[in-house]
Amino acid sequence: MKLHMQILIALGLGIKRNWHIFFGIIAGIFVGIYLHGHSNALIANILTFVGQVFIRLIQMVVIPLVVSAIIIGITSIGDNKQLGKFGTKMVLYYGIITSVAVLIGGALALLIKPGLGAAQYITEHTATAVQASVATAMEQQQGNVLNLFLGFIPSNPLHSFAAGDMVPIIVFVLIFAVALARVGDVNRPIVSFFESVFAATMKITDWIMFFAAPGVFALTASAVSSFGVDIFMSISKYLGVLLVGFAIQMFVVYPLFLRFFSKVSAAMLFSAIAEAMMVAFGTASSSATLPLTIACCEKRGISHKISSFVLPLGATLNFDGTALLQTVAVIFLAQAYGVVLTPFLIIQIGLLAIIASSTCAGIPGAGLITIALILNGMGLSPEQLVAGFAFLFTIERITDMFRTLLNVTSDAVVAAAIADNENEINYDLLNNPAAYEEIA
């Protein structure tokens, strides 16, 4: 083999996996931009195939992983009082982080007013191609909020497992795990069984990670190629507000949150979960990223007891990036269509964004479906609603990548804070990236 090839391969093998994924994202962006101008069906199909192989592989382990993680987590906490304390703290922390995201999104959108003068542009972009998704989204959100919550209680858990409905699955597994914890030692065979399931699924996650760099490359390239760069220019104000909001949440709110509630350094935590953050960006799915989020946290200092409980629940309930987007998007449309934003309406938007985001699933595009919950009460005409919605769909994927990055990072932020509070963190390991074990 030629010397330069040997050097390249040696370099490639020597670089840590998170750099491979990072290069995958960067290369994906460039290839995507190139493909936008030079469409090539064969390459597009290959990229979609490679990306889907990666996503399906990680989705394959999500349900066994979530079930086993929660069962082991809750039965290892054991005593009810401690469980209640963890649970309350978790809900409180997730609530704080999502509320702050909504406040930031709302403040930026009200201040910068990205929607002013955008009505004409929105109407022009009501592509017929997205009408079907819009109709489905509206239909799904037609029931009231109570019905939405009713749907979280699985009347047939097996049905929820088969359909992959995460919230009802989590509800069932939580109840089952608490019951197991209460029955004492007879739970041993089942808990041991799930300990084996957990270990095996983590092993599979390690293997899948060999495929992360090409997978994330392919996903990013096909996402970028499908919307191209020109659309960015015309909606730069809306996108700008979103990106600034995301950046504030990531680089100001999370570090402050960690400083306020724990001794964890945000820089250390971000390097510990770097692979999960990049896969979140590439896949736009916090559910699919969950196996990796758990692997990163557990292998780099956050105890299994905390990770296995807080992270699966976060990936199901905590969507602060989504809440931020929903707030900005709804205010954007209101401004575009001249809806008067009274203080009451603004509060309503904020509260509904917290609810709508937490009822969404950790899959691509889910946040844009649940946004209908907020839009329905805005007093927009059906035509405006459809046009507005269709507009949001046109730049859906790129915003999804960013909001999923936040959704996954904030799960880890909350897990780290709770682990710190409960003395369940190994700081020698977390603060020493050189000692991090590779995922895979």
Give the nearest residue (CB) to ligand ASP: 367
CB of 113 to ligand ASP, least distance (A): 24
Radius of gyration of the chain (CA): 22
Binding-site member from 59, 201, 285, 307 for ligand ASP (CB under 6 A)? 285
Binding-site member from 57, 362, 372, 387 for ligand ASP (CB under 6 A)? 362
Q: Are 312 and 90 in contact (CB under 8 A)?
A: no
Question: Per CB under 6 A, which region of 164-172, 329-337, 340-348, 363-371 contacts ligand ASP?
Answer: 363-371
Between 268 and 352, CB nearer to ligand ASP: 352
Question: Per CB under 6 A, which region of 119-127, 152-160, 247-255, 283-291 contacts ligand ASP?
Answer: 283-291
CB of 399 to ligand ASP, least distance (A): 8
Q: Are 416 and 255 in contact (CB under 8 A)?
A: no
Between 167 and 177, CB nearer to ligand ASP: 167
Examine residue 319 and tell whether it contacts ligand ASP (CB under 6 A).
yes
Residues 210-229 that bind ligand ASP (CB under 6 A): none
Q: Are 137 and 389 in contact (CB under 8 A)?
A: yes
CB of 360 to ligand ASP, least distance (A): 5
Distance CA 284, CA 287 (A): 9
Q: How many residues sit in the footprint of ligand ASP (CB under 6 A)?
A: 16
Examine residue 318 and tell whether it contacts ligand ASP (CB under 6 A).
no
Between 365 and 433, CB nearer to ligand ASP: 365
Q: Are 199 and 304 in contact (CB under 8 A)?
A: no
CB of 84 to ligand ASP, least distance (A): 27
CB of 287 to ligand ASP, least distance (A): 6
Examine residue 400 and tell whether it contacts ligand ASP (CB under 6 A).
yes
Binding-site member from 87, 95, 255, 365 for ligand ASP (CB under 6 A)? 365
Between 335 and 404, CB nearer to ligand ASP: 404
Binding-site member from 98, 222, 359, 404 for ligand ASP (CB under 6 A)? 404
Residue of 21, 16, 12, 19 lying closest to 280 (CA atoms): 21
The number of beta carbons lying within 10 Å of the beta carbon of residue 362 is: 29
SS (H, E, C) the chain: CCHHHHHHHHHHHHCCHHHHHHHHHHHHHHHHHHHHHCCCHHHHHHHHHHHHHHHHHHHHHHHHHHHHHHHHHHHHHCCHHHHHHHHHHHHHHHHHHHHHHHHHHHHHHHHHCCCCCCHHHHHHCCCHHHHHHHHHHHHHCCCCHHHHHHCCCCCCHHHHHHHCCHHHHHHHHHHHHHHHHHCHHHHHHHHHHHHHHHHHHHHHHHHHHHHHHHHHHHHHHHHHHHHCCHHHHHCHHHHHHHHHHHHHHHHHHHHHHHHHHCCCCHHHHHHHCHHHHHHHHHHCCHHHHHHHHHHHHHHCCECHHHHHHHHHHHHHHCCHHHHHHHHHHHHHHHHHCCCCCCHHHHHHHHHHHHHHHHCCCCCCCHHHHHCHHHHCCCCCCHHHHHHHHHHHHHCHHHHHHHHHHHHHHHHHHHHHHHHHHCCCECHHHHCCHHHCCCCC
CB of 157 to ligand ASP, least distance (A): 22
Question: Per CB under 6 A, which region of 189-197, 218-226, 291-299, 402-410 contacts ligand ASP?
Answer: 402-410
Binding-site member from 220, 225, 286, 293 for ligand ASP (CB under 6 A)? 286
Question: Per CB under 6 A, which region of 84-92, 122-130, 199-207, 403-411 contacts ligand ASP?
Answer: 403-411
Between 93 and 246, CB nearer to ligand ASP: 246
Between 151 and 365, CB nearer to ligand ASP: 365
Question: Per CB under 6 A, which region of 32-40, 144-152, 258-266, 280-288 contacts ligand ASP?
Answer: 280-288
Between 177 and 328, CB nearer to ligand ASP: 328
Question: Per CB under 6 A, which region of 96-104, 143-151, 253-261, 361-369 contacts ligand ASP?
Answer: 361-369
CB of 282 to ligand ASP, least distance (A): 12
Q: Tokens for 141?
A: 């959100």
Examine residue 411 and tell whether it contacts ligand ASP (CB under 6 A).
no
Binding-site member from 177, 248, 311, 360 for ligand ASP (CB under 6 A)? 360
Examine residue 105 and tell whether it contacts ligand ASP (CB under 6 A).
no
Distance CA 289, CA 310 (A): 14
Binding site for ligand ASP (CB under 6 A): 284-286, 319, 322, 360, 362-367, 400, 403-404, 407
